[in-house]
Structure 1
């Protein structure tokens, strides 16, 4: 974390108090230009509550350079404690913006996660949309986190950006475990974004996004997510109880 930056602490997690564009222009783009190693966590209420239940995971998140509010629930929580965050910073959108930047600057990206079919289609689509982006490599997400050979292979490609789609908490655990062996690179956990980029999961229509009910659209499309969605009311209850 930067000492001169303002943060909003929610359940012990320090969220950087910036807009999406400020994050890019003042922090991530300069870090890429300077080849400064960077770890970013896009945290929603589910991640915050996982950290609440798992202190080891909480400490990993707290060691990230940037934790941003990927979830309207986090923004609502910040308002409830009287220190509102400017806006939600959606992880999927942030990934798209970084891909666009990589395309403009001819940066290299490595893609880790999902299964072979989804990953292959996602990388194929990315290469078509961003032809000047350099694909440093890809690897599926079905491996043991203790298998250092995967990190070794990625490190040899010297990527500028490493997108890790292992789902939480594994993606943050993997980044934390192998971060020190890289000399540069922006590391970002992207959850299921590879599924979206592959075209297997559709993003909510813009109107749902603007109304901040994208979570409801995803629940309707994927009813099996209902147990995960229970973390949102639990998160809000924790905020209100502490208040």
Structure 2
């Protein structure tokens, strides 16, 4: 098991992850809820300083490697890790399968973020999702009160877009709650909703294919420089040496 800052990295290929999710979607028998942590350099740097966060990440049923910095690290260290799979791609796959199987989905949204519930609802309806619940509130509300509407308890799949580490803390508590009896899978998907609602633009496929989505975002948002610096230079310096 390959680790960075004592956090276990994902080992599965994209096809293996998608295959496991498809099995979960089609599973109608009794099950225990699963959750996926999406790892990137910023999350790993935060986990380096926060033991509780690190333990929560390691408790995930699956971890996927979302971030070009992880692939660079593996290249320099000559380590084999799971393929890169972004939170956006993962969320889109889950949504597609949920629509096909008519599963109920829940969406946790940060009301102080860029995306609004109405825009997210428009996107979901365009995709053909009929059975869903959207719950938007401030990050502090979800962490301190851990409150949710009653109709959320019957959701089979939950996508949490609070950003790290808040979304991982929320999911960890949720999968431990016995009253989420229908829950099959929960995933922290960071800023995915911003792409779905059109608040932010994804990089063209050719940029994503070669791992330069971060550069595209920098062109659109130069104020992301410090985040990009941390996700590349700071991360690689601390993890390689």
Aligned partner of 1:169 among 138, 147, 165: 165
Cα pair 1:219 1:226 within 8 Å, conserved:
yes
Structure 1 residues 70 and 154, CA gap change in structure 2 (3 angstroms): farther
Aligned residues: 230
Q: Secondary structure at the match of 1:62?
A: helix
Does 1:81 pair with 2:77?
yes
Question: CA contact under 8 A between 2:68 and 2:211: conserved in structure 1?
Answer: yes
Question: Which residue number in structure 2 is paired with residue 32 of structure 1?
Answer: 25
Where in structure 2 are the equivalents of 1:112-191 lying within 5 Å?
112-115=108-111, 118-129=116-127, 131=128, 133-142=129-138, 143-144=140-141, 145-150=143-148, 153=150, 155-156=152-153, 158-181=154-177, 182-183=180-181, 184-191=183-190
Contact 1:57 1:169 in 2 (8 A): yes
Instruction: Pick closer, same or farther for the CA change 1:40–1:100 going to 2, 3 Å.
Output: same
2:40 touches 2:66 (CA, 8 Å); kept in 1?
yes
Distance 1:32 1:153 in 2: 22
Q: Is 1:109 equivalent to 2:109 in the alignment? A: no
In structure 2, list runs of 5 or more residues that go unmatched. Answer: none
Question: Is residue 158–residue 187 contact of structure 2 (8 Å, CA) maintained in 1?
Answer: yes
**CA root-mean-square deviation:** 1.8
- Per-residue Cα deviation, 1:84-142 (whole angstroms, up to 9, x for no partner): 2242111101110111111111111111113386222112212212x1x3433111131
Cα distance in 2 between the residues matched to 1:18 and 1:177: 25
SS for the counterpart of 1:230 is: helix
The structure 1 segments of at least 4 consecutive aligned residues displaced by more than 6 Å after TM superposition are none
**How far apart are the structure 1 equivalents of 2:124 and 2:79?**
37
- Report how far residue 46 of structure 1 moved: 0.5
Give the TM-score normalised by structure 2: 0.88
Partners of 1:14 and 1:62 within 8 A in 2: yes
Q: Which residue of 1 aligns with 2:47?
A: 51
Stretch of structure 1 that moved more, 106-115 or 63-72: 106-115
Q: Secondary structure at the match of 2:116?
A: helix
Instruction: Find the counterpart in structure 1 of residue 221 from structure 2.
Output: 222
